[in-house]
Every structure is written in C-alpha cells, then in structure tokens.
Amino acid sequence: MPVVTLPDGSQRRFDHPVTVDEVAAGIGAGLRKAALAGRVNGKLVDTSYVIADDANLAIVTDKDADGLDIIRHSTAHLLAQAVKELFPDAQVTIGPVIEDGFYYDFAYERPFTTEDLAAIEAKMAELAKADQKVTRRVLSRDEAVTFFRNLGEIYKAEIIASIPEKEEISLYGQGNWVDLCRGPHVPSTGKLKAFKLTKVAGAYWRGDSRNEMLQRIYGTAWADRKQLEEYLHRLEEAEKRDHRRIGRELDLFHMQEEAPGAVFWHPKGWRVFQTLIGFMRERQRAAGYQEVNAPELMDATLWQQSGHLEKFGESMYLTKTPDERLYAIKPMNCPGHVQIFKHGLRSYRELPLRLAEFGKVHRYEPSGALHGLMRVRAFTQDDAHIFITEAQITAECVAVTKQILEIYADFGFEDVRIKFADRPPKRVGTDEVWDRAEEALKAASRAAGIEYALNRGEGAFYGPKLEFVLRDAIGRDWQCGTLQVDLNLPGRLGAYYIDEHSAKRTPVMLHRATFGSLERFFAILLEHHAGRLPAWLAPVQAVVLSITERQDGYVGAVTETLKNQGFLVESDLRNEKVGFKIREHTLQRVPYLLVAGDKEVAAHLLSVRTRNGKDLGTMSPETFAERLRIELDSRGRQTVEG
C-alpha cells in the first residue's frame, strides 16, 4: 500500500489507495480547505486523483504559481458555463490561461455587448457561489467526438478528432456543463472568488485568417479580492500611461492605415528617437564596436542559406524583379554582418570584431497583433554581432551583460530579470554543437555572477540566448535585450578566419541587442515615465514664458542664448494668461518652465519651476544653463518622477 513522501521529507503510510484530498485532510483541515490540486511525482493532478503506489506529493494551493494557473483555467471554464446558460446557442471552442488571466473563444450569431459581459460575469458569480463540484471522466476519442456532436458542439468535436487515437480524452464537468480539458481543475467552483471580465475581441478559429471569425472574451482571475483590485488598479494606471495616448498628446508620432505597422515620426518624436540612437552609438563606440550598414534588400538565396527563409518565410516580405530574381527585405541583420566579416581575409588578431548597426528590418505581423509602437512591421534594431573564438566566449559575454545592465540602469530600470532560453524544437545544427553553445553561455553567466530562470525551448533557431526582462514603474515586465551564442550561422554562411597556425577556423558569433526594437523601447520608456521623460531625453527641455508682451524681447533673447548652448528650448509669447501657459506646458510634460515678468527682466533673472509644480526660485539664465548642463551630463540612473 502507498507511502506518500511530502516536500519536507516526512512520510505518510496508508493501507489503501488514497486521494490527494484525503492526504491533505490527514495533514490538517486548513490544508484540505486550501488545496486546489496536487503534484504527484512531478505531475499536476486533481485533488480527486487516487494515489495507489508510493509517490512524492506536494499539495498545491493559491500561494503557488501552479495554483494561480489552475484558478485561471478553472475560471475560463466558469466563463464558458455561464455563456452556455445565458446563450444556449453559443458554441464553445478553446479557453487557455494567458498572462494575468484567461480567455475563451465562442461562436455566436451576434457580437457580445458590454451588457452581455456584465450579465455573464454576474452569472459566473452565481455559479461560483453555488460551489458546484468539479468532476473528471475519461472517454475514448470516438466516444468524445460523438458526445460533443450530440451536444451540437462541432468545434469541440473537430478538436477531439485531431487528437491521436490512443491519447486519453478527459472531460470536466460542473453542474450540467461539460468541457474537454486535460486539467487539473479546482475541486469546486466555490474556490473561484476573485475574477473580472475585461473585454471582448475577434479571433479566427485556430488562429487562421481563412477560418471563421469567433468572439474572444478575456478575463482575469486571482487568489483573492485584494490581488484582483491591485491588478485592476495597475490596468487603470496602464491605460493612463498608454504610449499611443501620450504620443498623440505630445505630438510625437502617428500611424495610419496606408502604412500598417509602420511609424510616421513627428519632429519631437524623431528628436527623442535620435537621442536614443546617439546614446547607444556613444556607448558602443566606447566599448569597441564599429558601426556598419548592410542593404535592406538582398537575394533570397542568402536567407535560404542562413536558414531564415525556412524558419521565418511566412513573416518575410519577398519581391520578385522583372528578371524573375527573388529578393527579401531583411527581417534581421545577422546575414548582412556575416557578409561584411567575410569581405577580405580575417585574422585571429582582429577578434573580437564587434559590428553594430541601427538596422531597419521588416517582419509581417497579423493585423490583429499590431499594437502602437509595441508591435509593428517595420522597426529599427540596435543590433550587434561580435565575431570571436570559442576561447573568448566567456569574457565577451560577461562584458556584454555588464554593459546591457548598466544601460538599463541609465534609463531607470534597476529591476532586471534574466532568462536562459535553450534549444527550440525547430533548429539548425547538431545536438553536439548545441551542447557546446549552451554550456558556453551558462559558463559565461556564472562568470558574470547572474542568476537566471530557464525558458525552455525558446532559444533562437541557431543558438541559445539570455533574455533581459525589465520591470517598469507599475510592475509590468518587458522582454527587451538578448545575448545569443551562435555556433551555426557563421559556418552555414561560409565565414572563417585564419588562426595562429595559419589554419581556417569558423568564428563564434554573438548576437546582441540592448533596446531590441528602438520603437518598442521608446514606447516602454513613455509608459514607464508616464510621458515625463528625463530632461536629457525630453524633446523640449524648457519653455520660456512671458507674462505680458513687455517681456517678449527678453524671452526671445534668453531662448536664443539657451538654444545656442545646445539646449532644446522654446518660447511662448502668446497673449494668454501665464497660468494657462503653465498648465498647457505642464500637460506637455516639459521638464522646466521659465517665467519672465517685469521684475525678472529688470534683474536679468528667470522664475524657474518644474513640470511637477516645484518652485525652484529665481535664477539667472546662466545659472539655469549650468544647472541643466550638469543634469544632462549626469544622465545615468534616471528615476521615475512621482
């Protein structure tokens, strides 16, 4: 009879098979009440799962990450149950867990309205309060297909028909409702206490635009009301910080249907964009990078040779010339940099050779995936490729990692998480080469003293990578920079150098990006700072305001003097009340407002205040210029304004 070993090493012996629920009850009534599922020998199972043999068991509660996922998955089922009770003709399809919540796709004759969502949420609350028991049963594939066809659920029947014949088909039921699912799920609907439906959107069946359009209802679910309220507050704050709204308000950029997924940069936005490039250019030059530029349009055979055409072909823009030659607009910069490396004979004495480019790339994204600057089709990468020997991997990876983290700190991102992404299922190169590449990157990570979480199967198709994830001012995570060790592409593209013994050697290539996409990093900065960019990044650093027309000459002279010193300064001579002007430029998030009245003109002074309303008193234009110069020169480690 089973011996159950718990996480603390203690053991429980039973003279009969027991369920996870019974083990939890034997430990304590409180644990039984809190139990959502179990992990038996590493596998997540329901609390009704029967343990017949010796096993390791961990009880899963809402304190565990797995527990929160189970709550969200079960809440997706609760949503589908509520929809079926309110709209019996609706057909259910799939309902997975996503970051911070869940969604469920439905086929229904008309669009769901805001009023429908409110009614569905109310019905969900009613079903949760009823504390209906959740049960599991197993059918054969054919039995399951017949079951759902008899219910009129043709989408579910289609899903099941595509499952291998011998695979176990499990169904979960609560009340009068049954759904196809692998599970596990909460023991009863009463465990679902904190949820909210957030929006409804369109989605194609199985993600294919050739299929029918379904309706996707999104929601969020948490362990308790407090966590839910905190999340909803973050959503509200995120809405205020939406970079698309800020972009409109500050006249930074726009996008339009004639160029989907591409940006029309306005003067102020382009000024910030170029400041980002200038900053990175300066840092790269100091670290020994050489800036290059490769063509945007290259023969498709090059992309076939590199492996990109097979891997990314559906996302690449291809064009055929009148002479039937097929070209591709580059989706990334690496093959172009390899061509630059190959031009001329390279010696080991030249390595590391660090090539960097602010390369414009194009990738097709479905229309529904486009999202302001965050998800575009045309974007600029701060891309670099470092050609080295295998012996140089550790030292170079340590240097790159150190620089990336320092740059993030310069922009106010001190909380940076790192993930190690290992080999994906679809890749180039042998397992032996991947073993070497992964061990080299792990060794470099140890040498750099960094800790990382494992992101299984998410490496690039040519090599493993470190992913740098930034946490912003309201707790959201953004994956930006990457560092990849590549032992495959250089050889596929015929790159080599001459070693100290006059033999040809294939270089290792490190792929490095810090911002990732400049457009996306721009958006992250706008949202992180809520549009209040630090003075060195702001498109306008100060505005000089007159109170009456008597100060116009003085304001104009001060503005020109500050401009001539390289500051981004404008004047406001409009015949408006000074309070109106101050409010308007505060809303424009201008860091400094310089007011000149008769007293200031007479004393050759300015009344200086910040966009947050702080009065810095009066000072001469020269003193203000010196103050601003010091701030701009010490631009590192910028904090977020309150």
For residue range 172-202, list pLDDT tens digits in order.
999 989 998 988 999 999 999 999 999 999 8
Annotate 13-50 with DSSP letters as a single string.
Answer: E-SS-EEHHHHHHHH-HHHHHH--EEEETTEEE-TT-E
Please answer whether residues 641 and 533 qualify as being in contact, where contact means their C-beta atoms are separated by less than 8 angstroms: no
Do 38 and 184 belong to one domain? no
The CB-side HSE value for 292 (13 A sphere, CA atoms) comes to 24
Please tell me whether residue 479 adopts helix, strand or coil conformation. strand
Please answer whether residues 215 and 112 qualify as being in contact, where contact means their C-beta atoms are separated by less than 8 angstroms: yes
Please answer whether residues 375 and 243 qualify as being in contact, where contact means their C-beta atoms are separated by less than 8 angstroms: no
Enumerate residue ranges in the chain where pLDDT < 70. Answer: 636-642
Q: What is the CA radius of gyration of the chain?
A: 30
- 414-423 b/e with 16+ CB inside 10 Å = b? eebebbbbbb
Show the domain range for 512.
Answer: 261-289+330-528
Residue 127 tokens read as 């079903």
Residue 246 within a domain = no
Please answer whether residues 195 and 228 qualify as being in contact, where contact means their C-beta atoms are separated by less than 8 angstroms: yes
Q: Which helix (H) or strand (E) holds 395?
A: helix 393-410
Do 52 and 93 belong to one domain? no
Task: Count how many residues are written for the chain.
Answer: 642
Report d(CA 507, CA 53) in Å as an integer.
53
Q: What is the CATH number of the domain that holds 12?
A: 3.10.20.30
Closest of 518, 481, 289 to residue 404, by C-alpha = 481
Residue 247 within a domain = no
Residue 360 within a domain = yes
Q: How many domains does one find in the chain?
A: 4
Do 44 and 96 belong to one domain? no
Report d(CA 420, CA 442) in Å as an integer.
8
Report d(CA 482, CA 477) in Å as an integer.
15
Helix ranges, 489-607 (H): 489-492, 518-528, 552-564, 578-587, 598-603
Do 373 and 517 belong to one domain? yes
Please answer whether residues 332 and 384 qualify as being in contact, where contact means their C-beta atoms are separated by less than 8 angstroms: no
Do 353 and 423 belong to one domain? yes
**Burial category of 410 from C-beta neighbours within 10 Å (exposed 0-12, middle 13-18, buried 19 and up):** middle
Residue 305 within a domain = no
**Burial category of 7 from C-beta neighbours within 10 Å (exposed 0-12, middle 13-18, buried 19 and up):** exposed
Active site residues: 334, 363, 381, 383, 385, 465, 511
Q: What is the CATH number of the domain that holds 97?
A: 3.30.980.10
pTM of the model: 0.81
Please answer whether residues 200 and 112 qualify as being in contact, where contact means their C-beta atoms are separated by less than 8 angstroms: yes
Residue 255 within a domain = no
Q: What is the pLDDT of residue 641?
A: 65
Do 74 and 49 belong to one domain? no
Q: Which of 496, 528, 560 is the last residue of a domain?
A: 528
Residue 71 tokens read as 């709550």
- CA distance to 490, 497, 504, 566, per residue, from 336 (Å): 11, 17, 21, 36
Please answer whether residues 174 and 189 qualify as being in contact, where contact means their C-beta atoms are separated by less than 8 angstroms: yes
Report d(CA 308, CA 356) in Å as an integer.
20
Do 491 and 553 belong to one domain? no
Q: What is the pLDDT of residue 640?
A: 58
Q: What is the pLDDT of residue 165?
A: 77
Report d(CA 242, CA 223) in Å as an integer.
27
Q: What is the pLDDT of residue 212?
A: 86
Do 38 and 78 belong to one domain? no
The CB-side HSE value for 535 (13 A sphere, CA atoms) comes to 22
Closest of 441, 491, 430, 499 to residue 466, by C-alpha = 441
Do 282 and 393 belong to one domain? yes
Do 490 and 516 belong to one domain? yes
Please answer whether residues 309 and 300 qualify as being in contact, where contact means their C-beta atoms are separated by less than 8 angstroms: yes
Q: Which of 60, 79, 108 is the last residue of a domain?
A: 60
Residue 314 within a domain = no
Report d(CA 254, CA 267) in Å as an integer.
11
Angle in degrees, 0-180, between the axes of helices 114-129 and 65-86, rounded to the nearest 10: 110
Please answer whether residues 327 and 321 qualify as being in contact, where contact means their C-beta atoms are separated by less than 8 angstroms: yes
Q: Which of 528, 562, 584 is the last residue of a domain?
A: 528
Report d(CA 463, CA 334) in Å as an integer.
13
Do 547 and 570 belong to one domain? yes
Q: Which helix (H) or strand (E) holds 357?
A: strand 353-362
Do 453 and 487 belong to one domain? yes
Residue 642 within a domain = no
Residue 250 within a domain = no
Report d(CA 118, CA 115) in Å as an integer.
5
Q: Which residue has the tokens 């069946």?
A: 205
Task: Give the start-end residues of each E strand in 157-193.
Answer: 169-174, 177-180
Report d(CA 627, CA 613) in Å as an integer.
18
Q: Which helix (H) or strand (E) holds 215?
A: strand 213-222
Report d(CA 408, CA 521) in Å as an integer.
11
Q: What is the pLDDT of residue 639?
A: 57
Report d(CA 233, CA 214) in Å as an integer.
29
Q: What is the CATH number of the domain that holds 619?
A: 3.40.50.800
